[in-house]
Amino acid sequence: MAMLFPLPCPELPEFQSLLLKGPYHASAPIYLALSHATQDPNAKVLLFTPNRTALKEALLDINDEWLNHNGGQGGICAVTRRVEIFYPPTLAHLRLLMSMMHEWDGVLHHAKTTLDCAPSLVVLHEVSSYLNTQASEATVSAYLSVISSALSMIQSWPSESMKPSKLVVFDSNLTELKLPILRSLSFAERHEDTGQHRNTLTILLERYFEWQGEIQIDEEYGEHVSEISGDQDLPDEVVDLTPVKRSLTLRRRDREQKAENEDVVWRWSEVGSTHEDGTKHTVFRWREA
């Protein structure tokens, strides 16, 4: 099963498409890719993110203890060979790149976009980062066009030899993103209040995904590390007694049985500790919802 954390941890429910919004931990997409590729020796993962430096800095900032200790092991390195990360700098580059992706069919169209096998998981990371400028393409329709392009790419893979590819979107800024539905037609219209459109994108996006999850900073439980339960051992170094506490609520979109569906809620703390050399790292501790 797919996971967002190192073991021991809860597993994600079986999904075909998943939208994750809110302040997730920086290593979540890495754990998802690794766990997916680990469960099937033929699995392949494509991850699209707008900025190599931003992704690297976020991972360095959290300094995930499990990744630090296990990322160099032979088994993990073998799995990472089936995870490809692309860094298209703009929405136009992203859509073009996805339109060019294809499985090897005897013809090499381009070395970067010709894959040895079709991916079983496609991850879109921080799509809203493309839309934080004043560019005319920063609209609800532009964001939705990226999702449509990703779905079209997934549907283009041959279905006879494999299960349909899965799609996951990570976007930490989605709930705060304010976008006009369409591009403004005149300078006079560019100053209109877009606050009323904050929820429009989220509502429309939910129609594309089987599951959606929202991560939140949780201040309502646990004030001290000793109150947090979990099997992951804390190091003996100096421990931060004010960990970052988060929660994830997973909800399935099911029109026929919506009233009967129950939310899946996870709660955890990200506990920081300091090595003897002064470097800080993060481990995850679990608590019942």
Instruction: Give the pLDDT confidence score for residue 60 in this predicted structure.
Output: 92
pLDDT band at 286 (very low <50, low <70, confident <90, very high): confident
pLDDT tens track for 57-98: 999 999 999 998 888 888 889 999 999 999 999 999 999 999
Amino acid making up residue 26: A
Instruction: Tell me the C-alpha distance between 153 and 157, whole Å.
Output: 7
Whether residue 229 has pLDDT greater than 90: no
Question: Greater confidence, 261 or 106?
Answer: 106
Q: Could you tell me how many residues make up the chain? A: 289
DSSP string of 2-18, one letter each residue: --SSSSS-PPPPP-SEE
Q: Closest by alpha carbon to 206, among 244, 230, 171?
A: 171
pLDDT at res. 85: 96
| Strands annotated E in the chain | 17-21, 45-48, 83-86, 102-103, 114-115, 121-125, 166-171, 211-217, 238-239, 244-252, 264-274, 280-287
Q: How far apart are CA 286 and CA 247, in angstroms?
A: 10
What is the b/e burial string over 218-249, where b = at least 16 CB atoms within 10 angstroms of the residue's CB? beeebeebeebebebeeeeeeeeeebbbbbbb
DSSP codes of every residue in 128-180: GGGGSSS-TT-SHHHHHHHHHHHHHHHHHS-SSSSPPPEEEEEETTGGG----
Residues of 77-103 as b/e, b for ≥16 C-beta within 10 angstroms? eebbebbebbbbeebeebbebbeebbb
Lowest mean pLDDT among 89-98, 121-130, 188-197: 188-197
Q: What is the mean pLDDT of residues 253-263?
A: 61
Higher pLDDT, 137 or 247: 247
- Whole-model pTM: value is 0.84
What's the confidence (pLDDT) of residue 246? 92
The pLDDT value given to residue 231: 44
DSSP conformational letter for 105? S
pLDDT recorded at residue 230 = 42
Question: Distance between CA atoms of 210 and 96, rounded to whole angstroms?
Answer: 26
6-51 pLDDT per residue, tens: 988 999 999 999 999 999 999 999 999 999 999 888 899 999 999 9
Looking at residue 228, its pLDDT comes to 39
pLDDT classification of 3: cutoffs 50, 70, 90: very high
State how far the Cα of 136 lies from the Cα of 152, in Å rounded to an integer: 24
How many Å apart are CA 249 and CA 231, to the nearest integer?
22
Residues 272 and 64: their CA atoms lie apart, in Å, by 9
Mean pLDDT, the chain, rounded, equals 82
**How many alpha carbons fall within 13 Å on the CB side of residue 36?**
30
Q: Which amino acid is at 59?
A: L
What pLDDT was estimated at residue 223?
43
Q: What is the pLDDT of residue 53?
A: 96
Sort 256 into a burial class: Cβ within 10 Å, 0-12 / 13-18 / 19+: exposed
